[in-house]
Amino acid sequence: MIKTAFRNLFRHKRRTLLTFSILSIAIMYYIVIQGMLDGFEIESTKNFINLETGHLKITSAEYNHETFEGRMSNYINVENALRSLPFINGICPRLKIVGFIDNGIDEYPVIIVGIDPHKDTTVFELHKYTNGLISPSGLWIGSVIANRFNVKEGDILYLTFKGKRGTIVSKEFTIEGIIDAPSFIINNLQVFTHINSLNEIGEFEGEISEIFVKTDNFENSFNYKTEVEKILPAYSVKTWQEEGKDFLSISEAKKFSQNILLFFIVLIGIIGTANTLMIAVFERIREIGTLKAIGMKDNEVMKLFITEGVLIGIAGSLFGVLLGVIINSILVKYGIDWSPLLPKEMNFGYRVSGVIKNTWNLKSIWISLILGPISTLIASYLPAKRAKSLLPAECLRWI
């Protein structure tokens, strides 16, 4: 049966090759796109945690995340309590103020972030995008902000903001680092200076806005949140997942797009195979009549056409997976430079920039190996049923 099915498929090489190729390309595309989307998600998650949120964020219960009002003053006690937990690997305080950056002529609204240079490195990787640690008179600014003011390292800019007592204060800072990070917020909206300088200028008396925490496993953040809330019941604790609702919504959209890709692969397999086999039935009507006349049973005729369809699915799946694995392995090793398609001035949700490498999604490979034969099996049913229903006498009279 299989030998006969192979022979029948090769009788019309061009048509069989076209159906086989369309299915293979669809499967290859699915594997590569899955690897690409997973690569984006993994890289974005890593950058989101390492540059913006840490694993946990602790604030006062009345803290306003938009105005940054409701700061905490006894954060040293909070730090000491956190250090008693065995899963805590890093703790850093930050002071955030809404203000302006200017060059004496033009000004630009920013979020001024005061950091402790040494503690900050235990949670965040911001220092990897600059040269060394920030000094009390230094300023780090995003690359987009630097382009707006046409400044470079060593130039002077002014920070202006409202101090704790309601007075407007301003001070000049030397640019010690221009940050080009995979984060829209950092590149466009935030500037960084030493937390002691910000406290002194604004007379905040040692207050801070937020405490960020790095744990031994970011995937256990919700369990760790519960433990932190037990020892700090008067404070608000948020996980990186809660902070990144907009980012995680993109992941949900990605899952939907995966289902769409699967649907189209099945559709391509069904339409292509059904079209090929239905044409084959009409072309081979006299042959079907002859086979039935010499003793081939109806079910055997039906099995023959179903076998042809499944063989197309198996071959298409195997070749598609092979192509997908080859192309994906190249992208896993070298990646693609997405810089031209990801302008720093626009927020795409994903925290990525530059070269992004694909990852391996074994689930997509197994699905592809199974999906091709199943889709062509479904597609083969109607043509095979049509061939089964033909009467030998009717077939032999076919012109």
* Amino acid in the structure at residue 362: L
Q: Which residue has the higher pLDDT, 143 or 302?
A: 143
Q: What is the pLDDT of residues 316-334, one digit of tens each?
A: 888 889 999 999 999 999 8
* Those residues with Cβ within 8 angstroms of residue 268's Cβ, 6 or more apart along the chain or in another chain: 22, 23, 26, 375
Mean pLDDT on 285-289: 64
pLDDT at 395 over 60: no
Q: What is the pLDDT of residues 85-127, one digit of tens each?
A: 999 999 999 999 999 999 888 899 999 999 999 999 999 999 8
At 60 the three-state DSSP class reads strand
pLDDT at 273 over 70: no
Mean pLDDT on 25-29: 84
Provide the b/e sequence for 58-67 (b: ≥16 CB within 10 Å).
bbbeebeeee
* Those residues with Cβ within 8 angstroms of residue 30's Cβ, 6 or more apart along the chain or in another chain: 261, 262, 265, 324, 364, 367, 368
Nearest to 201 by CA among 255, 233, 160, 236: 160
Q: What is the pLDDT of residues 298-308, one digit of tens each?
A: 666 667 767 77
pLDDT at 392 over 80: no
Can you give the pLDDT at residue 399? Answer: 46
Mean pLDDT on 141-151: 92
